[in-house]
Amino acid sequence: MSDVSVQTMIFGCGYLGRRVAQLAIRDGHKLWATTRRPEKRKELISAGMHPILADWTDRRTLVNLPDVKHLVICVSYDRQSSHNRYESQVGGLRNLLQAISPQTKICYVSTTGVYHQQNGAWVDEASPTHPTRDGGRAHLMAEALLHKLRPESEWTILRLAGIYGPGRIPRAADVIAGRPIASPQRGFLNLIHVDDAAEAVRSVWRKPTQRLYVVSDDQPVIRTQFYEEIARQTGSSKPQFVTPDTGSSVMMRSESNKRVWNRKMKRDLVSKLHFPNFVHGLAGIL
């Protein structure tokens, strides 16, 4: 049932934010969406959104934000930015929290990159977090801000696995072209299709507050199997692997090796995924 009285804002309307916005508009919400780029205003308007020019690292752009019921925060770090990850992800969130009403219900999109495990262990919401990479550290610090600055407010943290979907399949172009994959062959990938991730965000709007969830599909997959499945579904040659450069972002990402257990998400948010594993997800795209 639509609810035209509900106002929702997507702060960071990128790959995931667009899918969430579509669901909110379908539900009848009045939808606000932020962008740092003036040239994107028309694009957002044509998609049924009310655009806001805002950069959370600049508090001057956060004045007079609309008073909304729901706020979804899914800001990706811009590697071209003059700000480091801490200034953007943590400082930016602090600026935003100071600019919005304490009554606004927040869904903060974090990452399973906060987990440090390297032995294939299963992790869930109760697992220890000692991230070794800057991205995981920044998101964990941002999560702590919600506890510190919003102790009585309504919020939910979603730690998302790697998002994939139409136009966003890691290394698919390399597999299809027969180029070697610069990645270790072993180690687990934890994935979530963008449509299922958006449904998880949508479900937060109807749930109790101050909750933490990991969001991933039902089947962590060994890297080799993932790339071989791309090759199988596209009729490409079996992928070949080369060792990534020492200290490269690919090598650093591959050092994490854990399996995400999504039972709490399945119980509370999305009981049945559209794409429960990578085979179904790739088939729906490729």
Amino acid 253: pLDDT: 63
Residue 153 domain-assigned (yes or no): yes
Q: Are strands 221-222 and 188-189 parallel, antiparallel or unpaired?
A: antiparallel
* Local structure of 284: helix, strand or coil: coil
Closest CA to 113 of 47, 171, 190: 190
- DSSP 8-state class, residue 282: H
Quote the pTM value.
Answer: 0.93
Residue 2 domain-assigned (yes or no): no
Amino acid 250: pLDDT: 65
Number of domains in the chain: 1
The side-by-side arrangement of strands in the sheet containing 30-35 is 50-53, 30-35, 7-11, 70-73, 105-111, 155-160, 211-215
Per-residue model confidence as pLDDT tens for the chain (286 residues): 444 579 999 999 999 999 999 999 999 999 999 998 899 999 999 999 999 999 999 999 999 999 999 999 999 887 777 788 898 999 999 999 999 999 999 999 999 999 999 999 999 999 999 998 999 999 999 999 999 999 999 999 999 999 999 999 989 999 999 999 988 888 999 999 999 999 999 999 888 777 999 999 999 999 999 999 999 999 999 999 998 776 666 666 666 799 999 999 999 999 999 999 999 999 999 8
Amino acid 2: pLDDT: 46
Residue 125 domain-assigned (yes or no): yes
Amino acid 55: pLDDT: 94
Residue 286 contacts residue 230 (beta carbons within 8 Å): yes
Amino acid 76: pLDDT: 87
The parent domain of residue 151 ranges over: 7-283
Q: Tell me the C-alpha distance between 50 and 222, whole Å.
A: 41
CATH code of 87's domain: 3.40.50.720
Residue 254 domain-assigned (yes or no): yes
Give the chain's end-to-end CA distance (angstroms, integer): 33
Residue 1 domain-assigned (yes or no): no
- Burial bucket for residue 156 (CB in 10 Å: 0-12, 13-18, 19+): buried
Q: Tell me the C-alpha distance between 54 and 34, whole Å.
A: 6
Residue 19 domain-assigned (yes or no): yes
φ, ψ (nearest 5 deg) of residue 214: -90, 140
Q: Tell me the C-alpha distance between 65 and 52, whole Å.
A: 8
Amino acid 251: pLDDT: 62
What is the H or E stretch that residue 121 is in?
strand 121-123
Q: Tell me the C-alpha distance between 62 and 261, whole Å.
A: 37
